[in-house]
């Protein structure tokens, strides 16, 4: 009965963790560039004896999100693998969230103040555009259009091992390997879409289904704990004073 | 064997059935998990429980990750010194395919080290850079579905029923044991009492 109780309790803990992961996904269902995470569980056994379940790891699922036309002045989306390289206070990070805006100092930053690495927009530029291969062009009145920067994307050998800094921001880790800078637009590689944003990969319907499933599985495991407890009580009643 | 021993074996069998059912239920979210089944048999020495692993195929759900692999049919993935049907693999920084515990996936020629563009086809052949570099050692007739995972084969309703059944069986055996005990008490203390 004790073994059953431990196994059922591990199942409850697993479903609780699953709920946390799905709730986090759901909270970011509208965040551009967000990648849903998945938790992996495996059974625990000692020889032939089953002892319940354990969480063995969580990884973000880097699948392509849908690109959607947006109204932002400097919105960028990556079609394919790779990350934007952003900087703040000398720290470097990587993101697929491309909602940037022009700042007064010429830099291009997202809402949290992370600046797109290597891009400076002249103060007198009236229009900015980015081509699919990362060339940042500006129009200045009275002058010919010119290119002020070439955006490059960072690719990692193991992007799933990146260290998350926030929902959409990552830092390199030992597991991810060093960033490799690539020029977008090449055959078979990533390309950029200007005026578009990559939607979150979280499907609300799927997340709701996962929540319902986890909730029911939690209840069922709780029943297992109850049954084990009840059987202990019955065993205690074997001896009548 | 007397009645009490019979009931004792019935209670032990119910407990073993509960252990199996709760372990199954706990793994309702473990990908690739195959449920255990408790078979209760009547022997000359009471009820005996034998556990076996069910060969029932779990449902396959699409994930979109290139190295999530689902097995359709018997067999398992070779990871280091063990076997698993949980197919959530990813490429580490050196190109090795590893599961979430960091164990390397092995092909017929050893641990698999591939590029990001590698793919594994339905027959378990590993294609990388336009040629076949290895194959997964699988029994004939077993297919691989890449970009998908095999869900646990546990059915929560079946296991909940099994738990309730075990609990009631335990209770019945206990009640019967108490009845036998009460009869013996009478035999020992009332029959032959001198008024």
- Express each pLDDT in A162-171 by its tens digit: 999 999 999 9
Angle A42-A43-A46 from CA coordinates, rounded to 5° = 140
Q: Rounded mean pLDDT of A65-83?
A: 92
Residue positions counted in chain A:
241
Confidence of residue A47 (pLDDT cuts 50, 70, 90): confident
How far, CA to CA in Å, does B103 sit from each of A88, B31, B88, B92? 36, 16, 11, 11
Q: Rounded mean pLDDT of A102-112?
A: 92
* Residues in chain B, pLDDT under 50: none
Which residue in A has a C-alpha nearest to residue B28's C-alpha?
Answer: A217
Which residue in A has a C-alpha nearest to residue B92's C-alpha?
Answer: A158
pLDDT for A240: 67
Average pLDDT, chain A: 92
DSSP state of A7: H
Which residue in B has a C-alpha nearest to residue A12's C-alpha?
Answer: B26
The model's pTM: 0.87
Pairwise CA distance, residues B25 & B57, whole Å: 16
**Does the beta-carbon distance from B19 to A50 stay under 8 Å?**
yes
Neighbours of A77 (CB within 10 A): 27
pLDDT for A67: 95
Pure H helices in chain A? 2-27, 204-236
| Residue B158 contacts A where some CB pair is shorter than 8 Å | no
Query: Which residues of A are less than 8 Å from B64 in CB distance?
Result: 61, 63
Which residue in B has a C-alpha nearest to residue A9's C-alpha?
Answer: B26
pLDDT tens readout for residues A197-241: 999 999 999 999 999 999 999 999 999 999 999 999 999 888 765
Query: Which residues of B are less than 8 Å from A237 in CB distance?
Result: 174, 178
Gap from B183 CA to chain A (nearest CA, Å): 14
Report ipTM (2 d.p.): 0.85
Gap from B92 CA to chain A (nearest CA, Å): 5
Burial B117-127 (b: 16+ CB within 10 A, else e): ebebeeebebe
Written as six digits, the tokens of B20 are 């199996």
The residue among A134, A132, A170, A172 whose CA lies nearest residue A152 is A134
Query: Which residues of A are less than 8 Å from B36 in CB distance?
Result: 50
Residue B44, φ and ψ in degrees, nearest 5? -65, -20
Residue A71, φ and ψ in degrees, nearest 5? -95, 0
Confidence of residue A94 (pLDDT cuts 50, 70, 90): very high
Among B14, B36, B116, select the one facing A50 at the smallest CB separation.
B36
For residues A152 and A134, the answer to whether their CB atoms sit within 8 Å is yes
């Amino acid at each position: 009965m004790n073994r059953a109780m431990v196994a059922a309790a591990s199942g409850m803990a697993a479903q609780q963790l699953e709920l946390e992961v799905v709730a986090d996904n759901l909270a970011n269902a509208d965040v551009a560039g967000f990648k849903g995470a998945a938790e992996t569980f495996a059974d625990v056994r000692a020889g032939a004896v089953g002892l319940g379940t354990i969480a063995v790891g969580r990884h973000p699922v880097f699948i392509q999100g849908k690109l959607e036309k947006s109204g932002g002045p400097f919105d960028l989306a990556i079609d394919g693998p790779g990350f934007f390289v952003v900087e703040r206070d000398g720290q470097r990070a990587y993101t697929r969230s491309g909602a940037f805006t022009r700042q007064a100092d010429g830099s291009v930053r997202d809402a949290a103040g992370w600046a797109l690495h290597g891009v400076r927009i002249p103060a007198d530029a009236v229009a900015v555009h980015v081509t699919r291969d990362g060339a940042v062009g500006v129009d200045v009145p009275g002058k010919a259009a010119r290119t002020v920067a070439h955006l490059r994307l960072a690719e990692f050998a193991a992007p799933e091992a990146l260290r998350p800094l926030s929902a959409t921001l990552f830092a390199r880790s030992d597991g991810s390997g060093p960033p490799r800078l690539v020029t977008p637009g090449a055959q078979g590689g990533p390309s950029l879409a200007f005026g578009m944003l990559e939607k979150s990969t979280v499907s609300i319907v799927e997340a709701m289904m996962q929540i319902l499933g986890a909730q029911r599985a939690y209840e069922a495991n709780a029943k297992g704990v109850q049954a084990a407890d009840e059987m202990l009580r019955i065993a205690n009643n074997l001896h009548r004073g | 064997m007397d009645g009490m021993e019979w009931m004792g074996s019935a209670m032990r069998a119910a407990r073993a059935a509960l252990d199996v059912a709760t372990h199954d239920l706990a793994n309702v979210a473990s990908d690739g998990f195959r449920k255990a089944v408790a078979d209760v048999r009547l022997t000359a020495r009471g009820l005996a429980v034998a556990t076996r692993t069910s060969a029932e195929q779990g449902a396959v759900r699409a994930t979109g990750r290139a190295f999530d692999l689902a097995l359709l049919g018997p067999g398992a993935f070779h990871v280091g010194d063990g076997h698993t049907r949980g197919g959530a693999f990813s490429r580490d920084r050196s190109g090795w395919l590893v599961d979430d515990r960091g164990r390397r996936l092995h092909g017929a020629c050893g641990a698999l080290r591939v590029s990001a563009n590698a793919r594994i086809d339905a027959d378990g052949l590993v294609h990388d850079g336009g040629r076949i570099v290895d194959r997964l050692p699988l029994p004939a007739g077993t297919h691989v579905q890449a970009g998908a995972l095999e869900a646990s084969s546990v059915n929560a309703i079946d296991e909940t029923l099994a738990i309730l059944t075990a609990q009631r069986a335990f209770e019945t055996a206990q009640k019967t044991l108490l009845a036998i005990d009460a009869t013996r008490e009478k035999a020992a203390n009332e029959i032959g009492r001198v008024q």
